[in-house]
Structure 1
Amino acid sequence: VSLEGSEFHNLENLRELYLQSNRIASIANGSFQPLRKLEVLRLDGNRLLHFEVWQLSANPYLVEISLADNQWSCECGYLARFRNYLAQSAEKIVDAARVSCIY
């Protein structure tokens, strides 16, 4: 399953989005940008590998994010940015202790 980026247009008032356990393998960059009022985003339990989670910083009201139980990349360049985002957003990522990468 992939999100191409157009699925959330015209949903700028959406506050909660539950996408956990949907076998999502890829999410296009900028997919969540139209969701300007998004507060809760659950992406846990999917098959995500390279989604640039640091793009979520563009959602100013986002206060709860779930990212665990995915297949996050351990590639050095990606992992460095991913870890930096986790550190900067630790108070938002409710399952941070369970987030890991797959070798």
Structure 2
Amino acid sequence: MLGVLLSPKIKAQNKIRQLEEEFAIPTKNEEMGEELNQMCNLSDYVEELGIQKGLERGLERGLEQGLEQGKEQLLRLQIEKKLAKGLSPSEIAEALEEEEETIRRMIGDRAV
């Protein structure tokens, strides 16, 4: 019976019909009808919550990735400007308060 009530594949009207016919549950009174309607739509509600949480998490991750990419792009621009002024990797690292290895890696990538 719970399988029928909670199935996302069965429409509410079909669930009510099955409860009446297969399980001999009266569904005509007003109070029972409202409760059944809520139970029949529970799977839709749970699905909506799952979708909403998934979207929120995806948005969060997307923002984090975007911020990281933005920071890296800014660092690359700063490195490029300092290289153009003739600074060495160690001087750039000191000026930008970054690890010298990070600066050397980014200069080595040459996507600066």
Indicate the structure with greater strand content. 1
Which one has a bigger Cα radius of gyration?
A: 2
TM, length-normalised to structure 1 = 0.23
TM, length-normalised to structure 2 = 0.21
Indicate the structure with greater helix content. 2
Higher RCO (CA 8 Å, separation ≥ 6 residues): 1
